[in-house]
C-alpha cells in the first residue's frame, strides 16, 4: 500500500473496486485549513477509459509492480496489434483501445517493452523517439519562414506531426513519442 500523496505520473495502482490504473496527471491542492486534496487523471489499463479521481490526503491505494519483457511489433490484425517475445517467440496482442495514442507510433519491427500484470499484457512502453517517413505534406514556398511556425505532415503510420517548412514528402523525421513533436530530420 502507498499513500495517495506518493502517486506520480506513470505510477500503477489498484483502486478499491479492483480496477488497474496508471496515473497520467497529478495535482496536490492545499487550501487554508483542512486536509489537502490529491487530484489525478488516470487511465484504466484494462478498458482504456480515462477518469478523474480525487483523494483526501492520508488515503492509501494498493501499488502494483508490472513485469516487463522485450517484444517486437509484428503487424496489425483487425483491431489488435500483434507483438512477438524475443526469447520465447510467444505472440501476445493488444487492442487499439488498450494501446491508445501509442498505436500511432508503431512501425513493423520496432522493439518495445511489454508491461504485463499477472501474465496479462497491459500496455507497451515505446522508445523515446521513433524515425518515420513523411508520406504527405504541403510544399514549401519562398517566404514561409518569415512567419515562423510550421506545417502539418502525415507520416507512414498515419499520425499527423507539425514540422518545419523545409521538411518535404519523402523525408525521414524523428518524432518524440511522449509529446508527438518533431525532433529533427534524419
What is the DSSP secondary-structure string of 4-48?
GGG--TT-EEE-TTS-EEEEEEEEEE--SSS--EEEEEEEETTT-
Q: Which of 52-66, 98-112, 136-150 has the lowest mean pLDDT?
A: 136-150
18's CB contacts (< 8 A; 6+ apart) are none
Q: Are residues 76 and 105 in the same domain?
A: yes
Domain residue limits at 6: 2-63
pLDDT in tens, 89-103: 899 988 887 787 888
CATH classification at residue 38: 2.30.30.30
CATH classification at residue 80: 2.40.50.140
CA angle 76, 67, 58 (to 5 degrees): 115
Q: Are residues 8 and 53 in the same domain?
A: yes
180's CB contacts (< 8 A; 6+ apart) are 101, 159, 161
Question: What is the percent of the chain with per-residue pLDDT over 90, rounded to a whole number?
Answer: 21
Contact 14, 29 (CB under 8 A): no
Q: Are residues 35 and 74 in the same domain?
A: no
The pLDDT mean for the chain works out to: 85
Amino acid at each position: 500500500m502507498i499513500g495517495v500523496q506518493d502517486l506520480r505520473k506513470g505510477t500503477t495502482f489498484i483502486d478499491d473496486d479492483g480496477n488497474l490504473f496508471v496515473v497520467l496527471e497529478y495535482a496536490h491542492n492545499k487550501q487554508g485549513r483542512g486536509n489537502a486534496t490529491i487530484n489525478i487523471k488516470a487511465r484504466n489499463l484494462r478498458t482504456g477509459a480515462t477518469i478523474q479521481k480525487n483523494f483526501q490526503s492520508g488515503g492509501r491505494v494498493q501499488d502494483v509492480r508490472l513485469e516487463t519483457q522485450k517484444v517486437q511489433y509484428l503487424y496489425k490484425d483487425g483491431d489488435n496489434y500483434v507483438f512477438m517475445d524475443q526469447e520465447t517467440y510467444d505472440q501476445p496482442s493488444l487492442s487499439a483501445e488498450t494501446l491508445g495514442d501509442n498505436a500511432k507510433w508503431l512501425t513493423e519491427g520496432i522493439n518495445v517493452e511489454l508491461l504485463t500484470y499477472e501474465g496479462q499484457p497491459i500496455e507497451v512502453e515505446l522508445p523515446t523517439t521513433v524515425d518515420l517517413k513523411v508520406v504527405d505534406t504541403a510544399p514549401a514556398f519562398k517566404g514561409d519562414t518569415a512567419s515562423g511556425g510550421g506545417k502539418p505532415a502525415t507520416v507512414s503510420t498515419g499520425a499527423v506531426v507539425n514540422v518545419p517548412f523545409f521538411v518535404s514528402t519523402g523525408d525521414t523525421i524523428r518524432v518524440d513519442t511522449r509529446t508527438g513533436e518533431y525532433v529533427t530530420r534524419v
